[in-house]
Amino acid sequence: MKRVLITGAAGFLGSHLCDRFIKEGYHVIGMDNLITGDLKNIEHLFKLEHFEFYHHDVSKFVHVPGHLDYILHFASPASPIDYLKIPIQTLKVGSLGTHNLLGLAKAKNARMLIASTSEVYGDPTVHPQTEDYWGNVNPVGPRGVYDEAKRFQEAMTMAYHTFHGLETRIIRIFNTYGPRMRLNDGRVLPTFIGQALRGEDLTAFGDGTQTRSFCYVDDLVEGIYRLLLSDYAYPVNIGNPDEITIREFAEEILKLTGANQQVIFKPLPVDDPKQRRPDITKAKELLGWEPKVSRAEGLKRTYEYFRSLSERDLRPKDFDHYNK
């Protein structure tokens, strides 16, 4: 039986990856320090023979007994709210954590896939964003701790590939949504739905003309799985190119939830990207991948998940949100 280590296993994406690899017949080893993850996302797996979990910070030395075939590095804060609150940990998991796991992959002769991000493009001057675009990133701005951690992560991974001959894969993830997102994590989709469910006005930033492209989590997981098993070592965009403005997106949420609130606008945060849309030509050609779930269907599934949460989970936290 093939064995896979998934870091960030108790997070939104990590937990869905655990489900997918269990379904595909792998022995899954989950690892998470639970700084933003939640064991509720994977508690249904604890009873399974071929799932095990390590409560561990990958920024420290990482040891996993036995052989490993694959490592998927998804341990990192992913919301602006999180990485503004814990900037040092964000930098460490992208640098020290990546270095530790690359060393583990080398020792185990395992293939390693890292979760990079569309944030490496910064506030892009090229639209849509292709993998050969180098980005427009402010390294000392408030978002720099996340953007530069991911850019370093890519560079370190490619160095292990070219110098040590390690099998590596790099995925650049665009905005993704679905069940198990933290309702109060500060990203725009759960924030809008949470505000609608609580009967609050929806808060957007700027004039609402910034664009985002939202990919449903099942589509993303399929893209990750295909990339892992491919023979391509350079970055690949995985996301949905169906672009929408934040203002239009807020109106979709109000219509979906049947809420009577309005959309109010606040000043645009520093370095907030004005446009975000992936060019997925490479994913189509190399992986035969493109998103299948429409935004209407994906939002319906996600809304049903959030609506099932308890009243306590719906309470707002003491922070605002970012249009990520």
Q: Which is the catalytic residue, given 26, 70, 121, 146?
A: 146
- Encode pLDDT of 241-293 as tens digits: 999 999 999 999 999 999 888 998 888 777 677 888 999 999 999 999 999 99
pLDDT of residue 170: 98
% of residues, the chain, pLDDT over 90: 79
Question: pLDDT band at 59, cuts 50/70/90?
Answer: very high
- Encode pLDDT of 69-103 as tens digits: 999 999 999 888 898 899 999 999 999 999 999 99
pTM over 0.85: yes
Is the predicted pLDDT of residue 36 greater than 90, yes or no?
yes
Distance of alpha carbon 34 from alpha carbon 230, whole angstroms: 30
Report the SS3 class of residue 216.
Answer: strand
Domain positions in the chain are: 3-175+215-238
- Encode pLDDT of 210-251 as tens digits: 889 999 999 999 999 999 999 999 999 999 999 999 999 999
Question: pLDDT band at 180, cuts 50/70/90?
Answer: very high
**Total length of the chain:** 324
Is the predicted pLDDT of residue 317 greater than 80, yes or no?
no
pLDDT of residue 319: 41
When pLDDT is averaged across residues 162-190 and rounded to a whole number, the result is 94
Return the CATH architecture of domain 3-175+215-238.
3-Layer(aba) Sandwich (3.40)
Burial class (CB in 10 A: 0-12, 13-18, 19+), 316: middle
Cβ count within 10 A of residue 102 = 23
Per the annotation, the verdict on 146 as an active-site residue is yes
Q: Which DSSP letter does residue 19 get?
A: H
